[in-house]
Amino acid sequence: MKLKPSHQPLRLPSLGLDKLNLAAAALILWVAVGPWIWGYASSSSAVASHVFFIFAFGPLTLLLLVLRPAALILLAAGLWLAASPWLLGYATNHTAWLSDLVTGLLLTAVAGRAAGISIPRLARKHRGATAAPGPTQAAGSRP
């Protein structure tokens, strides 16, 4: 008796993962390798901050969608990552602060989305007082 392999594609929800989990995990991985890729691994404060960041906040990426407090903690961690080059004194390296600023803001956006915090679009037009009044419809009529 031969077993036929299933040709069904592996889906993320069946693994308990979502795109936001994967995005946060990719950003944490970028934080892990960033100092060596961009060449600021000689800064001990940058490396220590990144190692702490990975071990403290990396596991929370798995809980991002399950626990709202985990998403809020990751949101704060993203803000810390964005500000850390100036607070820890390695902002003199241009690539270091640029990488941490962009990665921190992206992590903040991902965590905010997971926490249910929505950012209104700047170009969104408000309906109501600013919109021109439409034609009046009779009761019971459908558009």
More confident residue, 69 or 8: 69
Q: Which two tokens stand for residue 8?
A: 């069904």
- CB atoms < 10 A from the CB of 122, how many? 5
pLDDT for 13 beyond 80: no
Q: What angle do CA 113, 79, 18 make, to 5 degrees?
A: 30
Contact 86, 97 (CB under 8 A): yes
Confidence tier at 6 by pLDDT (50, 70, 90): low
pLDDT of 123 reads: 45
Residues 107-130 have a mean pLDDT of 70
Report CA 60 to chain centroid distance, whole Å. 12
How far is C-alpha 106 from the chain's CA centre? 5
- Model confidence, pTM: 0.70
CB-CB contact of 100 with 90 (8 Å): no
The string of pLDDT tens digits covering residues 69-113 is 888 999 999 999 999 999 998 888 888 899 999 999 999 999 988
Highest mean pLDDT among 6-10, 90-94, 125-129: 90-94
